[in-house]
Amino acid sequence: VSLIRCLILKAEVQTFIEKCMQSVSTSPSHARSLAEVLVEGDLRGHYSHGLNRLDVYVREIKAGICAKEGEPGIEKESVATALVNGRNLLGPVVGNFCMKLAIKKARDVGIGWVVARDSNHYGIAAYYSMQALKENMIGMSFTNTSPLVVPTRAKECTLGTNPISIAAPAKNGGSFVLDMATSAVALGKVEIHERNGSSIPEGWGCDSQGRVSTDPSKVLNGGGLVPLGGPEITGGHKGYGLGLMVEVFCGMLAGSRYSRHIRTWRDTDRVADLGQCFVAVNPENFAPGFNERMSELLHINRSLEPVGEQVPVLVPGDPERMHIEKCQLLGGIPYPLKVVRHMNEFARSIGVSPALPVNRYIQ
């Protein structure tokens, strides 16, 4: 059963999420913003940041842990910077507000650097950085997150997976889109192995004593993820440093919660108060020919002879592009039947209908 997938139209997922969110009195425009980010996450193949998480958002709104209406406010501002109060609104509401502001500033003075406090989970980081592409600008987005990562030499989690996203436009709609956790892998990958009863590769996580472990349950119970780079000998301290860098851009500048002061990811009985950072840089303020150079940089790497015949050399954003193309060919987004059924049950429990259709099976 776990391998059976069914196809849902993009518009169907969008409407379903909106209805579920509105059923707990989320303002319609906020429900729409959230649905758009989650659908985009699924469409790009990052299912851990999509429909799959809908129940968490609904529960938080229902419990009053997250605000269902209102607008973010600017607390401090210059022509190039802003500090935004997210007013505990849904992450995408805060993120869209900030990114729009950063882009406006970059149009005026070449760069916009906007930091938000009192925000919430915002879905995939690339959703925000990519908004700059439409304006032919570089976009960046960073967020701190609940502690899951153990610093090099330590035994205890003090950092989130603190993602970095940067998007840059090439010619003819091409682009570079980096969207990465600063841990070696995301938590979801470890969870999948635990569910399947398989071991994880060395270099993903450690046990409660800080020892490298290939047992996913040890990593998930008392242990933690390790920073990008793995052990110190292969540069794990650099991944740890990058995680701290994201915290400097987010919690430090924002005055939000940070590091171990952020609630754990299973804890939804207090506000998140996340810090987030959104940047837009306008290439027009620098050397002419940016898009052409970007296209050539991408071409140089994509056209390299690969080590394995079937595994072409890619650039950041290519795997997601391939997943989007697959969805377009299929005519919708493929989901595990299990996930769809779970979501339909959830919707029924909060009185939402109609359910997602489960009649289009695919391989």
Q: Provide the 8-state DSSP code for 86.
A: -
Per CB under 8 A, the list member of 245, 271, 324, 355 interacting with a second copy is: 245
Q: What one-character-per-residue DSSP string does 221-285 give?
A: TT-EEPBTT-SGGGTHHHHHHHHHHHHIIIIIHHTS--GGGSPPTT--SS---EEEEEEEE-GGG
Q: Is 213 in the site for a second copy (CB under 8 A)?
A: no
Per CB under 8 A, the list member of 219, 252, 272, 352 interacting with a second copy is: 252
Q: Is 312 in the site for a second copy (CB under 8 A)?
A: yes
Closest distance to a second copy from the beta carbon of 211 (Å): 7
Which of 228, 103, 226, 111 has its CA nearest to residue 178? 228
Q: Is 7 in the site for a second copy (CB under 8 A)?
A: no
Paired tokens of 273: 């108060």
Per CB under 8 A, the list member of 306, 331, 351, 354 interacting with a second copy is: 306
Q: Is 288 in the site for a second copy (CB under 8 A)?
A: yes
Q: What one-character-per-residue DSSP string does 113-145 give?
A: EEEEEEE---S-THHHHGGGGGGT-EEEEEE--
What is d(CA 136, CA 288) in angstroms, rounded to the nearest whole number?
Answer: 13
Please answer whether residues 111 and 281 qualify as being in contact, where contact means their C-beta atoms are separated by less than 8 angstroms.
Answer: yes
Q: 61 or 157, CB closer to a second copy?
A: 157
Q: 39 or 177, CB closer to a second copy?
A: 177
Per CB under 8 A, the list member of 52, 81, 131, 213 interacting with a second copy is: 81
Q: What are phi and psi of 315, to 5 degrees?
A: -120, 160
Q: Which stretch binds a second copy (CB under 8 A): 20-28, 30-38, 72-80, 349-357?
A: 72-80
Q: 32 or 46, CB closer to a second copy?
A: 46
What is d(CA 79, CA 102) in angstroms, rounded to the nearest whole number?
Answer: 10
Q: Is 125 in the site for a second copy (CB under 8 A)?
A: no
Q: Is 74 in the site for a second copy (CB under 8 A)?
A: no
Q: What one-character-per-residue DSSP string does 160-229 give?
A: ----EEEEEE-GGG-EEEEEE-SBSS-HHHHHHHHHHTPPPPTTSEE-TTS-EE--HHHHHTT-EEPBTT
Q: Is 168 in the site for a second copy (CB under 8 A)?
A: yes
Q: 262 or 352, CB closer to a second copy?
A: 262
Closest distance to a second copy from the beta carbon of 279 (Å): 9
Q: Which stretch binds a second copy (CB under 8 A): 5-13, 33-41, 209-217, 347-355?
A: 209-217
Q: Is 139 in the site for a second copy (CB under 8 A)?
A: no
Q: 153 or 338, CB closer to a second copy?
A: 153
What is d(CA 39, CA 9) in angstroms, rounded to the nearest whole number?
Answer: 10
The neighbouring-strand residues paired with 180 are 164
Per CB under 8 A, the list member of 72, 91, 92, 151 interacting with a second copy is: 151
Q: Which stretch binds a second copy (CB under 8 A): 45-53, 56-64, 75-83, 190-198?
A: 75-83
Per CB under 8 A, the list member of 65, 109, 220, 271 interacting with a second copy is: 109
Q: 284 or 345, CB closer to a second copy?
A: 284
